[in-house]
Amino acid sequence: MQSKNHFLLVDFLKTFAALTIILHHFSSYGQIAEDARNLLPGIMTWLFEYGRYAVQIFLVMGGYLAAQSLTRTSDLKNPQTALKTIFNRYLRLFAPYVVALLVTIVCAWVARFWVQDEFIGESETLSQFLAHLFFLQGILGLDSISAGVWYVAIDWQLYAILTIMLSMFPGLRSLIWMMLVLCVTSLLYFNRDGSYENYFIYFIGAYGLGILAQLCKNYPDPSVNRFAKILMVMIGLVIVVSSFHQFWLRNILAYSVAIALIFFGDWAYKDQKHHKAHKLVNAILWGSRRSYCAFLIHFSFILLANTVYIAWGMNHLHNGVLAIALMLVAIATSWVAATLLYRWVEVPSRNLKL
């Protein structure tokens, strides 16, 4: 059997972004994070302050992969096909998401016996859980059950908006023009106003850069490629000029990731598990496949690690080495749990579609 092709930069970015977000959350919550910061103040502060910017990588990647999939979907102009595509995306996200939520609820219940910290929050309510099931928790102003689940809701919003635009516009040139308007207004205005952070318009700047990156190179029509490249250059100029007024690191990062995808996004490699030269790329592929599940499940292990740390009295020692060691064990365990969630839930749930 011929080995399947994978794309090195795409898989690397998914793995890197997931791991960075996980490290950011571990550096942000609980007594373990505080004691670890006393030992490694520079690294832990950097992860706390800048680790969140990995979300920009997720957003650009999300737009890139969504455009790759949706521009190949036949009959998307049919409203029924468009609605089915949007609902199937919901189903694709839903199964591992709801299992991770349930695990987090159980872990939070256990943690409340020993840990008195605001990041654990109050006991979850039925209405709060139902809002999470329909990705409405942010819009309704409810507390999040788990760190990072807001992104799942935003990803679905963005995917739905792209699907609707592809079904409504007569051609890709119209879509590209609209993406120019949305990207610029989002990057320069909406993304700088926290009141919009529960809605797609706050994030579509970075997501749209990923869409345009896909159309710049991989769409089969050369005229679309050229048009997308021209508008990418225009957006780049807008970002550079606006940086003289106010430097916005996440805009620079998002644009850099999009440019990297244009040049290197289609760099393919083979999945050869038993080839020594491919150990590194296979490790990247392993992480890439499990990145979504790791992103979903890791907060449970932040809760459990802090519970163990406090219940066993280790917090009274304020030992940074011990805190770092327990943090690393919890991170490794998160990826083990992500593997189980991937194998037992995410992969089987791919058959759930209309």
Q: Return the domain boundaries, the chain.
A: 5-349
Q: Strand, coil or helix: what is 336? A: helix
Q: Which residues contact 341 (CB under 8 A, 6 or more apart)?
A: 96, 99, 100, 293, 296, 297
The mean pLDDT value of the chain amounts to 94
Region at 351 (left for phi over 0; alpha for psi -120 to 50; beta for the rest):
alpha
Number of H helices, E strands in the chain: 14, 2
pLDDT tens-digit readout, 58-115: 999 999 999 999 999 888 999 999 999 999 999 999 999 999 999 999 999 999 999 8
pLDDT tens-digit readout, 313-337: 999 999 999 999 999 999 999 999 9
Give percent of the chain above pLDDT 90: 86
Phi, psi angles (nearest 5°) of residue 58: -55, -45
Of 263, 199, 195, the residue nearest 229 (C-alpha): 263
Q: Stretch 269-293: mean pLDDT, rounded?
A: 80
The pLDDT of residue 266 is 86
Q: Stretch 119-137: mean pLDDT, rounded?
A: 94
Half-sphere exposure of 70 (CA within 13 A, CB side): 31
The pLDDT of residue 278 is 74
249-264 and 222-245 are packed helices; what angle lies between their axes, rounded to 10 degrees?
160
Confidence of residue 224 (pLDDT cuts 50, 70, 90): very high
Q: Which residues contact 227 (CB under 8 A, 6 or more apart)?
A: 173, 176
Whole-model pTM above 0.75? yes
Q: What sections of 112-221 are H helices per DSSP? A: 126-133, 149-168, 172-188, 200-217
> How many other C-beta atoms can be found within 10 angstroms of the C-beta atom of residue 118?
7
**C-beta of residue 70 within 8 angstroms of C-beta of residue 337:** no
